[in-house]
Structure 1
Amino acid sequence: MALTYLTQCANCRADATMRCAGCMDAPEYQPGDSVGSVYCNRDCQKEHWSDHKAHCRALGQRKKLLRTANILKAALLTYREVVYDIDLTKIEFQDGVLCLYQNKRPITARSKRGLFPVHLTTNIDHKEAALANNQCTTAMALLGRLTRKLLKVGVASTIEVLDLHIGKPLTPTKLVPGPDSSDLPHTVLKVGRLFSNEAWILDTAGCQYGFQEVLVPFEKYLADKSCRILNDPATYDATETKDLDYFSTLPFLNRTRAQREDKKLERQARLHFADFVNTHVGGDILNGSAAEFKDKLDSFVHGLKLHMLNL
């Protein structure tokens, strides 16, 4: 891809505008360390490959990690958009808090499951916050298979689960009426890229706090959000129904027929999601140019939405 301004060729120092596609658009780990190489022609690019390849491959891995994070967030939000279980009546930004007004149901009533009420807001950030509210535990279970599948083919890495206290949310989200959830732990993934000293936070449900970045360097994430680590990282081995399996052992969550039926329906939806991951997600989804990846992501979201609607 060509730049719109002149810079020096990494090989011969002549004026150049051709960027290396392999390392283009990679996220920064340290300020300024994601700058890719620019060349005046393909011959110079080939001559310089032996010097450039290690840096290019490192940035290429970062780019695939970022694409993985974007797919995971899109998967969570698409799933929630189709399988929404809150009887939401109004979304309102008030005194720095995004208030989600709901008709609260008794434990003897089934949840109102269906499409997210898109007519309540035209603000995409508010919609994403409503979809992700109190969903980090769901995300950890739902996305386990998809996370491991994408990273296995795209990025050599370690994956751990980490609970954090978010000290500085940008825009807190609150259910009204509902319990105060400000002190609840926020669960994220800590991803270490092998053969490097890089550790990243992958946060698919951070939009409930107003966080739009899904992939942030570990130390930067902790500092920017004034986080407190609540536990030692644990290996990420979740299945789609891991949280539901645990909830089924808790008597207070299984007192009524409605509670048990809700978990049964949620389990069916999770397994249906797993079927989509098994049959429709291939390793090539992380490859290609930025435009090609956007098309693949759009196709993934469209396909997942149709698949979940067929449940």
Structure 2
Amino acid sequence: MVLTQCANCGTDATMRCAGCMDAPEYQPGDSVGVVYCNRDCQKGHWSDHKAYCRALGQRRKLLRAANILKAALLTYREVEYDVDLTKMEFQDGVLCLYQNQRSITARSKRGLFPAHLTTNIEHKEAALANNQCTTAMALLGRLTRKLLEGVDWTIEVLDLHIGKPRIITKLVPGPDSSDCPHTVLKVGRLFTNEIWIIDTAGCQYGFREVLVPFKRYLADKSSRISNEPTTYDATETKDLDYFSTLPFMNRTRAQREDTRLERQARLHFAVFVDTQVNKDILNGSAAGFKDKLDRFVHELKLHMLNLGN
């Protein structure tokens, strides 16, 4: 739906309010931006429009933050890939990631994702995100809080079982992870009934949208909730700190060295968030945000590649 009449005087109009453009829908048709015939009409209508405009502006910031979080996870994984991948094959809805499986006494093969194995962006993203929702929750905690600081949202961690993936991604050889819960962020806007899901690692199931209304996410993906949501307070190494207490994950020198290197990379990522990310990245036009996101990805990749230099 596109409005063509001035919200203030009712005449034909084409000047869209920049504050509520490009906001995602929560309910069908509830994010229609208004138009005006001139600046005077826009100023005259502001007292009526401002609450709606600010609400849509908050949604747009949430969508942009979600896209940054997904891009950050995939960029990190692209540089710090730890699977010795030899072939990718998609057939009958299953994306098989063939790997050289290592023993617990051998170090993981860390480095750039082998991009030559596929030209399909969805398959590449699925491979990068495979079994990474726990990593995503830890890695992205600082960045999430920085992007949404001062915005009226509650953020919780939620475990789900996905009943209807678009694709199934699995390592071959590798354990069957089909029954493992999938971890997402449950985000609610204060003083409203809006509840959203941010799914940064959902591309392993072929999910393209990173921000989806809560009820629609559950329905479209036939998802069931595994447990009650918990407060999102993760640090970059929260999962690694826990893994370090588990004897079976620390039996060998190779396992301990892999954890050390992953911790080093996570802390290097945190430096980028602290020094290079500004909340202003969420502002501006759609075209301007695309440029900012592209620059963010480029600069993060260079930063991660410089680890150890």
TM-score over 0.5 (shorter chain): yes
Superposed CA deviations along residues 67-93 of structure 1, whole A, max 9, x for unmatched, are 000000000000000000000011111
Q: In structure 1, what is the equivalent of residue 125 of structure 2?
A: 128
Matches within 5 A, 1:163-174: 163-174=159-170
Sequence identity percentage? 85
Moved >3 Å (runs of 4+): none
User: Which piece of structure 1 moves more, 175-184 or 130-139?
Assistant: 175-184
Superposed CA deviations along residues 104-125 of structure 1, whole A, max 9, x for unmatched, are 1111100000000000000111
Q: In structure 2, what is the equivalent of residue 216 of structure 1?
A: 212
Code of the residue aligned with 2:54 in structure 1: it is R
> Residue 3 of structure 2 contacts residue 35 of structure 2 at CA under 8 Å; is this kept in 1?
no
- 1:112 aligned to 106, 109, 113, which one? 109
> Residue 81 of structure 1 contacts residue 131 of structure 1 at CA under 8 Å; is this kept in 2?
yes
Q: In structure 2, what is the equivalent of residue 228 of structure 1?
A: 224
Q: In structure 1, what is the equivalent of residue 62 of structure 2?
A: 65
| 1:27 matches 2:24 | yes
| 1:306 matches 2:306 | no
Superposed CA deviations along residues 131-162 of structure 1, whole A, max 9, x for unmatched, are 00000000000000000110114x31110000
What is the alpha-carbon distance in structure 1 between the residues aligned to residue 3 and residue 86 of structure 2? 54
Structure 1, unaligned stretches of length 5 or more? none
Q: In structure 1, what is the equivalent of residue 197 of structure 2?
A: 201
User: Could you tell me how far 1:195 is from its partner in structure 2?
Assistant: 2.2
TM-score by length of 2: 0.98
> Residue 6 of structure 1 contacts residue 15 of structure 1 at CA under 8 Å; is this kept in 2?
no
Superposed CA deviations along residues 197-250 of structure 1, whole A, max 9, x for unmatched, are 111000000000000000000111011101110010100000000000000011
Q: In structure 1, what is the equivalent of residue 239 of structure 2?
A: 243
Residues 215/6 of structure 1: CA separation in 2 closer, same or farther (3 Å cut): closer
Q: In structure 2, what is the equivalent of residue 95 of structure 1?
A: 92
User: Could you tell me how far 1:18 is from its partner in structure 2?
Assistant: 1.1
TM-score by length of 1: 0.97
- 2:134 aligned to 134, 137, 147, which one? 137
What is the alpha-carbon distance in structure 2 between the residues aligned to residue 291 and residue 22 of structure 1? 14
> Residue 3 of structure 2 contacts residue 33 of structure 2 at CA under 8 Å; is this kept in 1?
no
Code of the residue aligned with 2:44 in structure 1: it is E
User: Could you tell me how far 1:166 is from its partner in structure 2?
Assistant: 0.2
User: Could you tell me how far 1:40 is from its partner in structure 2?
Assistant: 1.2
> Residue 165 of structure 1 contacts residue 230 of structure 1 at CA under 8 Å; is this kept in 2?
yes
What is the alpha-carbon distance in structure 1 between the residues aligned to residue 204 and residue 89 of structure 2? 14
Tell me the secondary structure at the aligned position of residue 263 of structure 2. Answer: helix
Superposed CA deviations along residues 174-195 of structure 1, whole A, max 9, x for unmatched, are 1111111111000000011112
Residues 95/6 of structure 1: CA separation in 2 closer, same or farther (3 Å cut): closer
| 1:38 matches 2:35 | yes
- 2:291 aligned to 260, 270, 295, which one? 295
Structure 2, unaligned stretches of length 5 or more? none
What is the alpha-carbon distance in structure 2 between the residues aligned to residue 27 and residue 164 of structure 1? 23
What is the alpha-carbon distance in structure 1 between the residues aligned to residue 226 and residue 103 of structure 2? 32
- 2:181 aligned to 185, 193, 198, which one? 185
Tell me the secondary structure at the aligned position of residue 192 of structure 1. Answer: strand
> Residue 155 of structure 2 contacts residue 188 of structure 2 at CA under 8 Å; is this kept in 1?
yes
Code of the residue aligned with 1:135 in structure 2: it is Q
Code of the residue aligned with 2:76 in structure 1: it is Y
| 1:18 matches 2:15 | yes
Q: In structure 2, what is the equivalent of residue 151 of structure 1?
A: 148
Tell me the secondary structure at the aligned position of residue 16 of structure 1. Answer: coil
Tell me the secondary structure at the aligned position of residue 191 of structure 1. Answer: strand
Q: In structure 1, what is the equivalent of residue 79 of structure 2?
A: 82
Number of aligned pairs? 307
| 1:8 matches 2:5 | yes
What is the alpha-carbon distance in structure 2 between the residues aligned to residue 100 and residue 17 of structure 1? 50
User: Could you tell me how far 1:6 is from its partner in structure 2?
Assistant: 7.6
What is the alpha-carbon distance in structure 2 between the residues aligned to residue 197 and residue 98 of structure 1? 37
User: Could you tell me how far 1:309 is from its partner in structure 2?
Assistant: 0.2
Tell me the secondary structure at the aligned position of residue 18 of structure 2. Answer: coil
Code of the residue aligned with 1:225 in structure 2: it is K
What is the alpha-carbon distance in structure 2 between the residues aligned to residue 228 and residue 291 of structure 1? 37
Code of the residue aligned with 2:194 in structure 1: it is E
